[in-house]
């Protein structure tokens, strides 16, 4: 997208009748939008590592979940994740014979349990590297679950206030540049700002393959007077 563009030009005036018709000079304005974009790196990673266990014996299932929590935590520590960046959620256990729906006999094991070890860290690179080596946990008997809407990795950018001033200045400068070009082409000069508004900042993934890279975007809208 071009970093700036014209939305419309306004012409307005009024007529006063005092025995004859007089015209006030037209009030002419031009409305322009200026775009500013930045590509930035996420600075917070939230990574839930969820795994499942099935068994007929409830005590065995609970003990296995606890043992595998320890295995996952040890794996993360080995990959450079600090202990204070790791937390373990309470396990979720289902008794398939007591759910009241479905055919419990279709399952090999009566109980199914899951546990989640959560990572919250500023070290994006260590999370990326550890995620690429999750097969190590499978080799140790930990059945890692796929991500879903309840447990999915997130990469956040929290330093918006640091780039806001420069981006607003850039968007405003881009808008003024196109307004000046329009004024020149129309045989006018650019006057004062009549009104200005700043759009909302948006932060989105640069693309689906690199969610740890973000694109920050803002559009400023300005209306200028045009003078002869």
Strand partners, 220: 34, 198
Mean predicted lDDT score pLDDT of the chain: 87
- For the stretch 95-107, pLDDT in tens is 988 876 566 667 7
> What is the residue extent of each domain of the chain?
4-41+158-227, 44-156
DSSP state letter for 152:
-
pLDDT of residue 12: 45
Tell me: pLDDT of 175 over 90. Answer: yes
- Banded model confidence at residue 213, pLDDT cuts 50, 70, 90: very high
- For the stretch 7-63, pLDDT in tens is 655 544 333 333 333 333 467 899 999 999 999 999 999 999 999 999 999 999 999
Q: Are 145 and 68 in contact (CB under 8 A)?
A: no
Minimum mean pLDDT range among 98-102, 144-148, 164-168: 98-102
Residues 6 or more apart whose CB falls under 8 angstroms from that of 79 comprise: 126, 129, 130, 133
Is the Cα torsion angle 143, 146, 151, 152 positive or negative in sign? positive
Tell me: pLDDT of 89 over 70. Answer: yes
| Beta strand extents in the chain (DSSP E only) | 4-12, 15-17, 21-23, 27-41, 44-55, 86-88, 92-95, 111-121, 143-144, 154-156, 189-198, 202-205, 213-227
Q: Are 110 and 97 in contact (CB under 8 A)?
A: yes
pLDDT of residue 16: 39
pLDDT of residue 27: 74
- Banded model confidence at residue 202, pLDDT cuts 50, 70, 90: very high
Tell me: pLDDT of 5 over 90. Answer: no
What is the average per-residue pLDDT within 203-219?
95
Radius of gyration of the chain (CA): 30
**Architecture of the domain whose range is 44-156:** 2-Layer Sandwich (3.30)
Tell me: pLDDT of 3 over 70. Answer: no
**Domain 4-41+158-227 belongs in CATH node 3.30.110.170:** yes
91 is written with which tokens? 């396990």
What is the average per-residue pLDDT within 179-208?
92
């Amino acid at each position: 997208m071009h970093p700036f563009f014209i939305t419309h030009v306004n012409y307005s005036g009024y007529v006063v009748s005092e025995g004859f018709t007089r015209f006030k000079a037209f009030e002419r304005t031009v409305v322009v939008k200026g775009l500013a974009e930045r590509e930035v790196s996420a600075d917070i990673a939230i990574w839930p590592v969820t795994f499942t266990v099935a068994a007929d014996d409830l005590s065995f299932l609970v003990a296995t979940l606890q043992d595998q929590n320890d295995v996952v935590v040890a794996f993360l520590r080995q990959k450079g994740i600090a202990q204070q960046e790791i937390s373990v959620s309470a396990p979720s256990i289902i008794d398939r014979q007591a759910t009241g729906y479905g055919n419990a006999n279709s399952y090999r094991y009566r109980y199914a349990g899951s546990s989640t070890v959560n990572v919250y860290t500023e070290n994006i690179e260590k999370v990326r590297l550890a995620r690429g080596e999750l097969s190590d946990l499978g080799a140790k008997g930990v059945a890692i679950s796929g991500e879903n809407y309840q447990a999915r990795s997130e990469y956040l950018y929290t330093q918006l206030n640091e780039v806001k001033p420069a981006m607003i200045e850039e968007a405003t400068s881009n808008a003024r540049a196109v307004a000046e070009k329009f004024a020149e082409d129309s045989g006018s000069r650019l006057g004062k700002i009549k009104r200005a508004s700043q759009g909302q900042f948006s932060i989105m993934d640069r693309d689906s393959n690199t969610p740890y890279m973000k694109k920050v975007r803002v559009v400023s809208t300005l209306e200028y007077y045009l003078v002869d």
